[in-house]
């Protein structure tokens, strides 16, 4: 009797995957059986992270480059084409902006343009480019947000504005792509002990913040939800409990 071919593993793209939340999430997805296309700017760090994540098996396909660059987006798209599917896109790469964080009234507009390019334009561009593969797989898009998007913290105006815009993009795409079977959510991961958070508080001790792995129970919960039911919602990964609001 001829054995039936095994189903191909699901595929995920994770940007900003060389460290912090991106690295933790890439490792989690590998453990769930995903093949991961990992993107970040720092080639040595990304390749070292990929080696560490695959010590116990799994496949990480490294795509180095700044996510705002068309060449990087094309390289990610080609990696997806080689694997012939895309089930999950995580737009995690983020730009904090100047450090120390300046007040918005003094924010250098050139720096703000860079923050908006990385945190708003690039996630939308990458989603647009990968949309055919996402539609074919009825895939999911997860955009990484922040509590700065809703709080108006002094000094966080540029970063917070970019994440607020990304939240609205997520909600709008969720409405527009519902009939195509593509789910879109935004996720605030909460305060974590990461290089980005340290840059926001230069010289301060942030050892009281949890490591990004604190969010892993949330990701396990999210992947087990009906994609259509959660689409359009915003979640806090470190909330006491996670619920899908009734529509």
Q: What is residue 204's predicted lDDT score, i.e. its pLDDT?
A: 87
Q: What is residue 136's predicted lDDT score, i.e. its pLDDT?
A: 98
Q: Tens of pLDDT along 53-81?
A: 999 899 999 999 999 999 999 999 999 99
Mean pLDDT of 124-148: 98
Q: Tens of pLDDT along 79-131?
A: 999 999 999 999 999 999 999 999 999 999 999 999 999 999 999 999 999 99
Q: How far apart are CA 118 and CA 128, in angstroms?
A: 15
Q: How far apart are CA 41 and CA 17, in angstroms?
A: 9
Model confidence, pTM: 0.95
Q: Which of these is catalytic: 28, 156, 159, 218?
A: 159
How high is the mean pLDDT of the chain?
A: 95
pLDDT surpassing 60 at residue 2:
no
Contacts of 5 (CB under 8 A, 6+ apart): none
**Quick check: is 153 catalytic?**
no
Q: How far apart are CA 76 and CA 223, in angstroms?
A: 22
Domains of the chain: residue spans and CATH: 11-236 (3.40.50.720)
């Amino acid at each position: 009797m001829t054995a039936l071919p095994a189903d191909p593993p699901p595929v995920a793209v994770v940007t900003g995957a060389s460290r912090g939340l991106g690295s933790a999430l890439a490792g989690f997805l590998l453990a769930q059986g995903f093949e991961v296309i990992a993107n970040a700017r720092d080639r040595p760090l990304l390749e070292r992270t990929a080696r560490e994540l695959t010590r116990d098996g799994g496949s990480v396909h490294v795509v180095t480059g700044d996510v705002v660059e068309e060449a990087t987006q094309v390289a990610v798209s080609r990696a997806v084409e080689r694997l012939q599917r895309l089930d999950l896109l995580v737009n995690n790469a983020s730009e904090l902006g100047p450090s120390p964080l300046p007040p918005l009234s003094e924010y250098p507009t050139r720096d703000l343009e860079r923050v908006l390019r990385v945190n708003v334009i690039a996630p939308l561009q990458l989603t647009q480019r990968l949309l055919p593969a996402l539609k074919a797989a009825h895939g999911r898009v997860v955009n990484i947000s922040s509590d700065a998007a809703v709080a108006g913290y002094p000094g966080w105006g540029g970063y917070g504005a970019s994440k607020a815009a990304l939240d609205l993009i997520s909600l709008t795409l969720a409405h527009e792509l519902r009939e195509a079977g593509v789910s879109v959510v935004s996720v605030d991961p909460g305060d974590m002990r990461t290089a980005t958070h340290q840059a926001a508080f230069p010289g301060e001790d942030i050892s009281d913040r949890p490591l990004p792995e604190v969010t892993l129970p949330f990701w396990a919960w999210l992947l087990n939800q009906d994609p259509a039911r959660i689409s359009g919602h915003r979640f806090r990964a470190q909330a006491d409990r996670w619920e899908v609001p009734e529509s």
